[in-house]
Amino acid sequence: MKIAIVTGGSNGIGKATALELGKRGISVILTYNSYKDRAEAVVKEVEQNTGVRAVALKLNLTQISTFEGFALEVKQYLNDIWDRTTFDYLVNNGGIGGPMMFNEMTEEYFDNILNTNFKGPVFLTQHLVRFMDDHGAIVNTTSSSKNQSFPGYSAYGSLKAAFSTWTRYIAKELAPRNIRVNAVSPGPTHSNFGDGVFDKHPEFIKPLAEQSVFGRIGQPEDLAKVIVNVLSDDFGWVTAQDIEVSGGHLL
């Protein structure tokens, strides 16, 4: 039985990834920060629809001091539920978005983006990879915005670019253990990005859809299928890559 850890698994791409993993017989430990009820609903959906086990654990990616305790909690669940001391896959999906123009940018905003989208995942991976099974795989969720220049996203795009670059470095360092590390870069996706910006402002969807060669924005399931495939042995000869999954956005 393979086991995956998915951060930010209570909604959007993380939720879709947890469900897709379950469909393929892979058990899931998903994390949430603010939405315990949503996370528990995802656990229930995974278990009822796929028959594999799932667990939801609270994790705040900005609180690095809690990561050691989180790792111990994961170890306990691995032992109690699966009789394992290791896990197989890590999806660093948890993150936040939302624009702020450079001239208005606050240090608080910058630090929140930095800690949630880059620093937190880096140090969380450091804790978890110690008991990841050799021949495992990691997928980091970055963003196509790292190659674009939309106003208001200078901090977000720059730190996603840093996350993408880090992916290559860590792929090199973990190669002796045969752990593959890749990234997936979503384009505009109808997820909970920006605190549900597309639900609050559906008028934003049409112009972005028109920028895609397929005439629509992405759905969480579009990303989930790619993430789970990249984790699988079908991509066993692929590491240190950042795959854009944007439906040809701005092609």
In the chain, the amino acid numbered 39 is A
Q: What is the DSSP letter of 53?
A: -
Check 32, 89, 153, 156 and give the catalytic one: 156
Query: How far from each other are the two terminal CA atoms of the chain, in whole angstroms?
Result: 40
In the prediction, which pLDDT does 249 show?
Answer: 80
In the prediction, which pLDDT does 201 show?
Answer: 61
Q: Which residues contact 45 (CB under 8 A, 6 or more apart)?
A: 19
> What is the CA angle 164-231-73, rounded to 5?
90
| CA nearest to 55, candidates 66, 68, 38, 42 | 42
Rounded CA gap, 20 and 27, in Å? 10
Domains and CATH numbers, the chain: 3-245 (3.40.50.720)
In the prediction, which pLDDT does 205 show?
Answer: 74
In the prediction, which pLDDT does 234 show?
Answer: 97
Tell me the pLDDT tens digit for each residue of 60-88.
Answer: 999 999 999 999 999 999 999 999 999 99
3-state DSSP assignment of residue 240: coil
Low-confidence stretches of the chain (pLDDT < 70) are 192-202, 204
Q: What is the DSSP letter of 151?
A: T
Give the CA diameter of the chain.
53
| CA nearest to 248, candidates 218, 205, 206, 226 | 218
Question: Does residue 156 carry a catalytic annotation?
Answer: yes
Tell me the pLDDT tens digit for each residue of 110-154.
Answer: 999 999 999 999 999 999 999 999 999 999 999 987 777 788 999
In the prediction, which pLDDT does 194 show?
Answer: 56
